[in-house]
């Protein structure tokens, strides 16, 4: 009989579902790190919320653990890399608290514009400072949304109901989907400049960390307001404090902080600042929903091997897994490349499978292709929910299998249709398992997937390679490998250049200025 530990406070419904599925449950919320270290080896499953930190040290001791279930969306408290290496599945409940988080955002907005917390405190102190708390209406105001996925779209719908105008910055939001929802799609700078109220609903990644920096705040109109109910670290808290003190920002409301629990924070005594202790998902309905969902998912896995909403494992049977694994990896890498170089709204993704690939089960290959494309904009995407997330963003997808002979023993070709055109990319497997790029935009090119690289589209003109190499050398960027392809002599060409380390935005901007360069992107592969 399987045994599950619940180490955070959770609905009783969760415990009941485990018991109904013949699974032993220990309910021990509030365990210390050392206590968890001492007992984790006894359990096959671990159900948590946000308080328990599942570190590599914990996982090292978890000799019998096969699954971690997070009742909620965020998995920042789980070392997913260590879990994967340990062979432990990590699953969450990505849609269980979307409405609750969106509603908390709206509540924070209304509290902020009408200064309700400050007015409440003042009134209870025996003051009657009616003229001091002169708020503003949200009607006809511009709400800027950074990150318009599931939660962001719910916030937008509520705001539109309040007669607000909604601008959204989300490279992955399809233009038609936005229009159908009453949302005006815009670039980041436009959202910053036009928003009366700015709210964030994007995952915390290297690209989004401090996306609201001092520079971004300076671009905002004087008197604008900022709301963050997504992830701590999206807003530079020090810069926000300065903007509140100078009056450039009229107010801010945060549910999340860079360090949590936030017993101290630079913003706490700032003027016109509202704080809540990460309550976005804290409603009776949301707690019940995610508790039931995670118990059902974990029970299904422990009793039958079914995998639902896993972040580090595809939907596969034991027979299919070893055959499909190399193709899943290849499709993910191809998708990751296209996702990193596509900033326009995506309309459609098509997967073509030829050679040996044509006889394989396509669903997990397509699912992981979508994971690669979407993961730069969504922290909840995985092989199970990637289709739903793509559809929610107005992205259609399809698979075509060709029985025809091709130049390679096996071949995957990806066609991505976006608002300004089409991108294509093909890859194969060398020796049946090593992923390899064989064409980009129909231009033949032979390359592996380097850890860090520059992708360039350029004109095939004499002197280009020399100019580029000199510029990279002057910026102390070492070239590890150089892969070239061209459509025809003197015409369009591409280059994929493996480099040691990362490249700065300043250097990228310098490369863009070379006369032969059409575009340049930095790309990274896991």
- Give the residue numbers annotated as catalytic, written as ranges: 231, 260, 278
What's the N-to-C CA distance of the chain in angstroms? 37
Task: Give the separation between CA 36 and CA 39, rounded to whole angstroms.
Answer: 5
* DSSP states along 105-141: HHHHHHHHHTTHHHHHHHHHTT---GGG------TTP
Bridge-partner residues for 353, per DSSP?
401, 412
CA gyration radius for the chain? Answer: 25
Angle ∠(25,30,35) on CA atoms, nearest 5: 80
* Residue 297: both structure tokens together: 């998912």
| Beta bridge pairs of residue 494 | 457, 485
Please tell me what DSSP assigns to residue 87: T
The rounded distance, in Å, linking the Cα atoms of 405 and 448 is: 23
Secondary-structure percent of the chain, ordered helix, strand, coil, rounded to 5:
35, 25, 40
Long-range CB contacts for residues 38-46, cutoff 8 Å, separation at least 24: 39/5, 40/5, 40/65, 41/65, 42/3, 42/5, 43/3, 43/4, 43/5, 44/2, 44/3, 44/4, 44/302, 45/2, 45/3, 45/4, 45/5, 45/69, 45/298, 45/301, 45/302, 46/4, 46/5, 46/7
Please provide the DSSP assignment of 473-517 as one string: HHTT--EEEEEEEESSTTSEEEEEEEESS---HHHHHHHHTSTTE
Cα separation, 86 vs 79, in Å, equals: 11
Distance CA 157, CA 299 (A): 35
Q: What is d(CA 113, CA 99) in angstroms, rounded to the nearest whole number?
A: 21
Phi, psi of 466 (to 5 degrees): -65, -45
Q: In terms of DSSP bridges, do strands 410-418 and 346-355 run parallel, antiparallel, or are they unpaired?
A: antiparallel
Alpha carbons 79 and 56: distance in angstroms, whole number = 6
| Tokens encoding 142 | 């511009």
For residue 481 the two structure tokens come to 């490998």
């Amino acid at each position: 009989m399987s045994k599950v530990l619940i180490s955070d406070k959770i609905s009783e419904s969760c415990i009941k579902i485990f018991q109904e599925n013949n699974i032993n449950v220990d309910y021990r919320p509030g365990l210390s790190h050392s206590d968890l270290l001492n007992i984790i080896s006894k359990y096959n499953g671990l159900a948590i919320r946000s308080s328990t930190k599942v570190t590599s040290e914990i996982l090292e001791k978890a000799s019998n653990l096969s699954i971690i279930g997070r009742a909620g969306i965020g998995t920042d408290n789980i070392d997913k890399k260590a879990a994967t290496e340990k062979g432990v599945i990590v699953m969450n409940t990505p849609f269980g608290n979307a409405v609750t988080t969106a509603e908390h955002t709206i509540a924070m907005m209304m509290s902020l514009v009408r200064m309700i917390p400050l007015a409440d405190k003042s009134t209870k102190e025996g003051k009657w400072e009616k003229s001091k708390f002169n708020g503003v209406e949200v009607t006809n105001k511009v709400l800027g949304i950074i990150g318009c996925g599931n939660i962001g779209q719910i916030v937008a719908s509520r705001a539109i109901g309040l007669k607000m105008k909604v601008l959204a910055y989300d490279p992955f939001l399809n233009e038609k989907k936005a229009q159908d929802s009453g949302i005006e799609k815009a670039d980041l700078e436009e959202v910053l400049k036009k928003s009366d109220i700015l709210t964030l609903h994007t995952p915390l990644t290297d690209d989004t960390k401090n996306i609201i920096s001092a520079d971004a705040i300076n671009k905002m109109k004087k008197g604008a307001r900022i709301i963050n109910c997504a992830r701590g670290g999206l807003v530079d808290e020090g810069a926000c404090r300065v903007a509140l003190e100078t009056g450039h920002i009229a107010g801010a409301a945060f549910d999340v902080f860079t360090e949590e629990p936030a017993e101290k924070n630079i913003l706490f005594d700032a003027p016109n600042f509202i704080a809540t202790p990460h309550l976005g998902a804290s409603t009776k309905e949301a707690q019940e929903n995610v508790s039931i969902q995670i118990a059902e998912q974990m029970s299904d896995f422990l009793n039958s091997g079914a995998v639902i909403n896993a972040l580090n494992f595809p939907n596969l049977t034991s027979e299919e897994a070893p055959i499909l694994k190399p193709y899943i990896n290849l499709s993910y890498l191809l998708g990751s490349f296209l996702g990193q170089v596509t900033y326009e709204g995506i309309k459609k993704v098509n997967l073509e499978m030829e050679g040996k690939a044509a006889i394989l089960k396509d669903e997990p290959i397509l699912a992981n292709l979508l994971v690669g494309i979407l993961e730069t904009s969504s922290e909840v995407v995985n092989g199970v929910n990637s289709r739903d997330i793509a559809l929610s963003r107005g992205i259609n997808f399809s698979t075509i299998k060709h029985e025809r002979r091709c130049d390679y023993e096996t071949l995957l070709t990806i066609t991505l249709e976006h608002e300004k055109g089409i991108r294509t990319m093909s890859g194969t497997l060398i020796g049946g398992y090593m992923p390899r790029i064989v064409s980009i935009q129909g231009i033949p090119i032979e390359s592996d997937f380097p850890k860090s690289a520059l992708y360039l589209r350029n004109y095939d003109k004499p002197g280009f390679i020399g100019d580029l190499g000199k510029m990279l050398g002057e910026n102390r960027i070492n070239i590890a490998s150089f892969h070239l392809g061209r459509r025809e002599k003197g015409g369009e060409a591409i280059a994929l250049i493996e480099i040691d380390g990362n490249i700065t935005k300043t250097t990228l901007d310098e490369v863009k200025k070379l006369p032969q360069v059409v575009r340049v992107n930095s790309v990274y592969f896991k």
